[in-house]
Structure 1
Amino acid sequence: MIALSLSACDKEATGQVAAVVNGEEITLQEINAELGSAAIPEGVDKKLVQQAALQRIVERRLLAQAARDDELDKTPDYLLRERQLRDALLVQLMGQRAERALKVPGEQEIDKFIADNPVMFAERKILAVDRIQFAMPKNVDQLKALENDHSMEAVAARLKQMGIEFRRDATQIDSAALGQQRLQQIRALPAGEPFVVPENGVVTVGVVTGERAEPVPAANARPMAVQAIRNKQMSETMQQRLKQSRTSAEIQYQPGFAPAPEKGTPTKK
């Protein structure tokens, strides 16, 4: 204990170390991370901004040390959240590294993307939608019953009959978010026929009740296309990495927790 105490006392606020709080160093790198990408207004003393950021870190560090004195870092809740944050941070850093490696789209690729996705640009629409949303049921086959319902009232009645809680509201959907293919599928439905979109554990049922044109100005189209192309590249990169990891991983599920097999995917005996 004496040796540890002396080691803590040896730490000094010098060089890259802006402060030492009960033996824990706070570096200039931490201050820069605290400030992030925030632009410092012209004429403002940068040193004062750094000092303010340092004080926020010092106060947070003192409270964190007090929490450890109370042994909160040994509770199940802390350990669970620590793992969640660690996983999320690693995925975020992986994404940032992958983004730096993305190729810059060329002029022809940008022009083709704009031409192939008019609902994102010149033909962009804002759709008024009567919407019902509910959590994906454990038995996905229950959704097949909605195929016989040809109005929102019929869908609502069916869900009540099945004992599924739902929320109904009026909302707006950007055609750019829907994408060309999904918008075409919705427009191909008879008037008043609900569309069903199961995604990310939530089922959305809706009917388009109106729309207005919101074309993207030509000056903004190309930067938006570049970002959309990069987002698509990023998604494909991360999905490929996930596929590789899943292929080599050994995953065991408790009965009842395994995901439903995808169509065309053989199940293991």
Structure 2
Amino acid sequence: MSSTARFVFPVVFVSAFLLNACSKGEAEGKPAFEVIAKVNEQEIQANELSSALARSAAQGVPEGAALERLIDQELMVQRARERRLDRDPRVLQSFEAAQREILARAYLEQVTEQIAPPGDAEIAAFYAANPELFARRRIYSLQELEIRIPEERFGELERLSARAEGLHEVKEWLAREQIEFRHATAVKPAEQLPLESLKGFARMKDGQMVLSRTGAGALLVHLVTSREQPLDEAAARPMIERYLLNARKSALAKAEVERLRDGARIEYAPAAPAVQQAASPSQ
């Protein structure tokens, strides 16, 4: 493995380093935001804290913890600059990759931000077309076995799971055969299951097991119990709006990328035919 491949930065650190390089590298013309802390005379401004909070909102990071994280990052950035790491070719390569990803994401967000929300008729149609999610919604108590089994032994596992009286029989057989597996339990409402698999789950009866192939081997799902907990259209409306809006944004983003590719001249190196095939959205 090359040294470049080994040199991996945490995304948050790279982003912070990039933002520092852009907003603090120039002494003149800095935006007049409130200063909330100083680290060795270097200011941390309110807009930086707002950005940090937005990035970590899903993790529930409180404002105080986010500020302390910014202070830690600033200390590391200052030491990195002292050691001229901001001139290291590997660091610059990481900067360029992070900048490319950030700019591409920002462009697609701008392209899709004006999408109109779904109307009442569209929401009602989606509600009616997906009773497993709403009118007949269930809460599923599941046990799952992720099994790393060779392809040639999948048939054995399939026959065993079809006649087994419970998950314990399958686990005992896997242990005897020294086949690696991981056991997990979960309680999931219908909306947390993959939409393409939901109709299959809705047909399952309590106690039933279903086996499917995966890239790593197999997945055995045991429906322990389930209970109905329907949602009426009014309660489901926010969920449907988010789903339809995100679907529209994804479709528009895909169409925009295809439009850009159609209008561009893209030339692949002769040594990269596999990359060309994988990169083409039409294949």
Q: TM-score range by the shorter chain?
A: 0.5 to 0.7
Aligned residues: 238
Provide the residue aligned with 1:93 in structure 2. Answer: 106
The reply to whether residue 123 of structure 1 matches residue 136 of structure 2 is yes
Separation of aligned partners in 2, 1:245 and 1:159: 53
Separation of aligned partners in 2, 1:184 and 1:215: 15
Report if aligned partners of 1:150, 1:193 keep a CA contact under 8 Å in 2.
Answer: yes
Please point out which of 155, 161, 165 is paired with 1:150.
161
Provide the residue aligned with 1:11 in structure 2. Answer: 27
Report if aligned partners of 2:143, 2:185 keep a CA contact under 8 Å in 1.
Answer: yes
Q: Give unpaired runs (5+ residues) of structure 2.
A: 1-23, 57-62
Please point out which of 208, 212, 215 is paired with 2:227.
212
Report if aligned partners of 1:132, 1:167 keep a CA contact under 8 Å in 2.
Answer: yes
Report if aligned partners of 2:137, 2:229 keep a CA contact under 8 Å in 1.
Answer: yes
Provide the residue aligned with 2:249 in structure 1. Answer: 234
Q: CA offsets per residue over residues 148-168 of structure 1, 9 Å max, x none?
A: 44254447746974x653211
Provide the residue aligned with 2:240 in structure 1. Answer: 225
Q: Secondary structure at the match of 1:118?
A: coil
Please point out which of 69, 73, 77 is paired with 1:60.
73
Identity %: 22
Structure 1 residues 117 and 14: alpha-carbon distance in aligned structure 2, compared to 1, 3 A threshold: closer
1:28-177, aligned counterparts within 5 Å?
Answer: 29-30=47-48, 32-34=50-52, 36=54, 60-73=73-86, 74=88, 82=95, 85-86=98-99, 88-90=101-103, 92-134=105-147, 141=151, 144-145=154-155, 146-151=157-162, 152=167, 153-154=169-170, 157=173, 161=177, 165-177=180-192
Q: Secondary structure at the match of 1:104?
A: coil
Q: TM-score, normalised by structure 1?
A: 0.60
Q: CA offsets per residue over residues 69-101 of structure 1, 9 Å max, x none?
A: 23555385x567656644553454245324413
1:258-269, aligned counterparts within 5 Å?
Answer: none
1:16 maps to a residue whose letter is A
1:182-201, aligned counterparts within 5 Å?
Answer: 182-186=197-201, 188=203, 192-196=208-212, 198=214
Structure 1 residues 184 and 31: alpha-carbon distance in aligned structure 2, compared to 1, 3 A threshold: closer
Separation of aligned partners in 2, 1:55 and 1:180: 40
Q: Secondary structure at the match of 2:187?
A: strand
Q: CA offsets per residue over residues 200-230 of structure 1, 9 Å max, x none?
A: x795321212101222355321122111111
Q: TM-score, normalised by structure 2?
A: 0.58
Q: CA offsets per residue over residues 133-153 of structure 1, 9 Å max, x none?
A: 257x8x8x5585354442544
Separation of aligned partners in 1, 2:67 and 2:214: 46
Report if aligned partners of 1:17, 1:26 keep a CA contact under 8 Å in 2.
Answer: no
Separation of aligned partners in 1, 2:33 and 2:257: 38
Q: CA offsets per residue over residues 45-77 of structure 1, 9 Å max, x none?
A: xxxx9xx9889756633430212323555385x
